[in-house]
């Protein structure tokens, strides 16, 4: 495949897509229907919902998509462990009712609940009021994570904004960064495959790793059966985008791209917003749209 250019007005061989996006069922603010409306306004033709460690929004997403000329893709962003690093593996185009996947996600749900309770206990030690009830309320029927604590902290006046909450209390190495045993990267890849989906290594340059380590990560991901890597997403430098594209060629991985949209107030993301690029590697859409 040659010179793919992903832009709304000129579809080239493939439609304009956004394959990484969060709803209110994880740490995003919009409902699936609101996301779809935003995507339609931006000319997105293929759109995936990829909430962290959950698929609860997928059915609603697919049925709301009927109103638009948008192909809705089932997705999720699985939290996993590679050595001592936490890495995110996106699953796309799977059967969201798959029993093994349901069971896998139920276990992560339990893990996240245990972690949430530990986070609130640790924060209490810093004289922060008990934020667990509010964080649970914010999470609703979806997944609970550190961003819900960050939001609750802003509401409680503990910090001025969510970034400050991460910088002071929740980010890597801070008191609220509670370590739990996430499934391994290989288990995440396997469960996506079992459910009939494509496994994509999310935002490889966003794990605070040297690029040498990113190369090792990509190699391991490929050896473990991974299918694709995200090469374009907000904040990526153009040099890194090219290097990731080369890594994709080297390991025979497909490429993917997405906005990682969470909230309108996060000015660095927007639905359908990620650097345009050209790649000679096959795009995940070429596989997703076959089915």
Note whether 80 and 182 are within 8 A (CB). yes
Q: Measured between alpha carbons, how far is 288 from 291 in angstroms, rounded to an integer?
A: 6
Q: Give the torsion through C-alpha atoms of 64, 66, 67, 73, to 10 deg.
A: 60
Check binding of 166 to ligand AMP (CB under 6 A): yes
Q: Which among 47, 39, 71, 30 has a CA at the least distance from the CA of 257?
A: 47
| Near ligand AMP by CB under 6 A: residue from 134, 146, 203, 283 | 146
Q: Measured between alpha carbons, how far is 49 from 178 in angstroms, rounded to an integer?
A: 26
Q: Which of 140, 278 has the CB closer to Mn ion?
A: 140
Check binding of 230 to ligand AMP (CB under 6 A): no
| Near Mn ion by CB under 5 A: residue from 17, 18, 81, 88 | 88
Check binding of 12 to ligand AMP (CB under 6 A): no
Q: Which among 101, 126, 103, 109 has a CA at the least distance from the CA of 180?
A: 109
Check binding of 203 to ligand AMP (CB under 6 A): no
Residue with tokens 């089932």: 74
User: Contact region for ligand AMP (CB under 6 A) — 141-149, 184-192, 211-219, 246-254?
Assistant: 141-149
Q: Which of 85, 163 has the CB closer to ligand AMP?
A: 163
User: Contact region for ligand AMP (CB under 6 A) — 90-98, 145-153, 200-208, 277-285?
Assistant: 145-153
Site string for Mn ion, 215-254 (x = CB under 5 A): ----------------------------------------
Which positions ≥6 away from 263 have C-beta within 8 Å? 28, 29, 30
Which residues make up the interface to Mn ion (CB under 5 A)? 27, 77, 88, 202, 260
């Amino acid at each position: 495949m040659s010179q793919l250019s992903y832009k709304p007005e000129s579809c080239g061989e493939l439609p304009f897509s956004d394959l990484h996006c969060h709803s209110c069922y994880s740490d995003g603010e919009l409902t699936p229907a609101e996301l779809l409306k935003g995507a339609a306004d931006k000319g997105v033709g293929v759109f995936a919902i990829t909430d962290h460690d959950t698929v609860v929004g997928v059915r609603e997403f697919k049925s709301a998509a009927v109103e638009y000329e948008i192909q809705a893709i089932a997705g999720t962003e699985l939290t996993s462990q590679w050595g001592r690093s936490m890495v995110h593996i996106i699953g796309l185009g799977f059967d969201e009712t798959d029993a093994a996947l349901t069971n896998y996600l139920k276990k992560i749900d339990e893990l996240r609940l245990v972690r949430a309770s530990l986070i609130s206990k640790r924060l209490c030690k810093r004289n922060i009021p008990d934020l667990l009830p509010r964080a649970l309320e914010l999470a609703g029927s979806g997944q609970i994570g550190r961003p819900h604590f960050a939001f609750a902290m802003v509401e409680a006046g503990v910090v001025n904004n969510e970034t400050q909450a991460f910088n002071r209390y929740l980010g890597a190495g801070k008191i609220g960064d509670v370590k739990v045993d996430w499934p391994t990267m290989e288990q995440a890849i396997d469960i996506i495959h079992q459910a009939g989906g494509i496994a994509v290594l999310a935002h490889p340059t966003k794990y605070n790793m040297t690029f040498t380590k990113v190369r090792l990560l990509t190699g391991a991901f490929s050896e473990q059966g991974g299918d694709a890597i995200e090469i374009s997403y907000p904040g990526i430098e153009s040099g890194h985008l090219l290097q990731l594209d080369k890594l994709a060629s080297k390991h025979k991985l497909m490429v993917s791209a997405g906005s990682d949209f969470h909230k309108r107030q996060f000015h660095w993301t927007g639905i359908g917003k990620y650097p345009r690029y050209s790649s000679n590697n096959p795009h995940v859409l070429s596989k997703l749209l076959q089915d």
